[in-house]
Structure 1
């Protein structure tokens, strides 16, 4: 190499300083402090994990107890539901049995109602038939210690003079109707019974157009049962209308006839 070149190189790259006799002291790392911090952090993390683990284990145990308790409750409820189901099935069976009995009883009640209705009709008919032996008289003044039977016989003899001698034997029981009233009140009616329907009907026919009864303010009527009286009240407008039309209309007990044909109240 040319000396000039060497000089140029030295100018560009100056020479390094001389190496000292001893190497400089090497700086020591603070290993001990770093290790202590790491260990502390590791211990804290370990403690945290342990605490979390204990808490989780405790929660698991508590949840296990709760689940076990809930399971027991569910089992108990299941048992109770099964018992209730059995009870409901038993009650349902009883209800079905009771319903069958009720249906049977309803049929029996219907039969009894029909029989009762028939019995009432028969009793009403018998009562009406029995009352056809009776007549009633209204307007007869009451007297103290009166012989009401003798007075009734005298009225009947005025209506049937041809049977004057027979009437004392065919007029049976006679009595006033209801309780005795105060003086001045309207006199009570009298009911009297015959032993013969022939004479009873003869007196009834004679009483319809009797001038003797009108002049003495007396009135003779049939002895009607409550049911016959109710029937007559319903039939009376029809009978009255027929009579205004000059038709032959009359009653027999609780029945009404117009020109020989029985009529019935409107439905």
Structure 2
């Protein structure tokens, strides 16, 4: 009985061992399958190409050539940058110099403007003074307009005879009354030039001027004695100003009380 039991137990042990062994084989097979990343259906990767010595040398030469070219470009760029820096420095100096010159020119221009303004002011004052002096000097003069001109005439003698006819009381002292007599400008064609008479005293000039206003000799010879105005006062707008003023006042309907004052002859104003 005991022998049978022991035989059965041994068989069970063997069966169990066989079962465990089979299980271990199955586990190892599954593990092996899990470790294998490639399945029979997938394409296996190609083997890596072995790098030879010649391939390595060519790669190194290409790298060295690239480094050499890059180094040359960097050197060229550095040279250009240095040249540009030098150029910019010179441009900056030129700009500073030009700015200083412009500032100096502005200061000189301002000074010149002030000087020109002062010179213009002084010139205007001097011109006015010269004009006043010329006007004052001409107050001793009278002009004869329309006096016939003959060849080879002695204009002083002609004018002296004319003045004696107008004022017989001057016959004995005409040479002391009249200082100088001459015609104005050059003779051109048949144009009758004006005659300038300069008196030694102003009251002689004013007295003669009053006598010639409506004198028969003047009407007979068709001559007139007029004021010797300077060029600035002979402008048309100054000479015709009173007449234009009268017309404007008449058109605007202003009072006629002030008209006689405005219509005063320039010659009368000069003689006062």
Q: Specify the alignment match of 1:193 in structure 2.
A: 198
CA shift, 1:62, in A, is: 1.1
Equivalence for 2:265: 250
Matches within 5 A, 1:71-82: 71-82=78-89
Residue pair 2:134, 2:230 contacting (<8 A) in 1 also: yes
- Asked if the contact 2:182/2:197 (under 8 Å) is kept, the reply is yes
What whole-Å deviation, never above 9, does each CA across 1:37-71 have from its counterpart, x for those lacking one?
Answer: x9xx646x654453243223212211211111111
Q: Secondary structure at the match of 1:224?
A: coil
Residue 58 of structure 1: aligned partner: 65
Q: Does 1:228 align with 2:237?
A: no
Q: 1:237 — aligned with what?
A: 241
Counterparts of 1:1-267 in structure 2, within 5 Å, are 42=50, 46-182=53-189, 185-230=190-235, 233-234=237-238, 236-239=240-243, 241-242=245-246, 247-248=260-261, 249-251=264-266
Aligned equivalents of 1:50, 1:94: Cα separation in 2: 65
Residues 130-167 of structure 1: per-residue CA shift (max 9 Å, x gap): 11211111222222322211111122223323333333
Aligned in 2, Cα 1:241/1:100: closer, same or farther, shift over 3 Å?
Answer: closer
- Contact between 2:227 and 2:267, CA under 8 Å: does it hold in 1? no
Structure with more strand by fraction: 1
CA distance in 2, matches of 1:190, 1:68: 96
1:239 touches 1:250 (CA, 8 Å); kept in 2?
Answer: no
CA RMSD of aligned residues (A): 2.9
Whole-angstrom CA distance in 2 between matches of 1:153 and 1:72 = 100
More helix as a share of residues: 2
Size of the aligned set, in residue pairs, is: 215
- After superposition, what is the alpha-carbon deviation per residue over 1:66-104, rounded to whole angstroms, capped at 9, x for unaligned? 111111111121122112112211221121122112111
**Deviation at 1:200?**
0.9
- 1-side partners of 2:241 and 2:172: how far apart? 40
Q: How many Å separate the matches in 1 of 2:74 and 2:109?
A: 50
Give per-residue Cα distances to partners, 1:26-45, cap 9 Å, x unaligned: xxxxxxxxxxxx9xx646x6
CA distance in 2, matches of 1:110, 1:194: 41
Q: What secondary structure sits across from 1:135 in the alignment?
A: strand
Structure 1 unaligned spans of 5+: 1-37, 261-267
1:210, CA displacement in angstroms? 2.3
Task: Determine the C-alpha separation between the residues in 2 that align with 1:205 and 1:64.
Answer: 111
CA distance in 1, matches of 2:86, 2:79: 10
Tell me, in whole angstroms, the C-alpha distance in 1 between the residues paired with 2:99 and 2:191: 68
Partner of 1:209, secondary structure, is coil
Are the structure 2 counterparts of residues 240 and 212 from structure 1 closer, same or farther at C-alpha, using a change threshold of 3 Å?
farther
What is the TM-score with the length of structure 1 in the denominator?
A: 0.71
Q: TM-score if structure 2 supplies the norm length?
A: 0.69
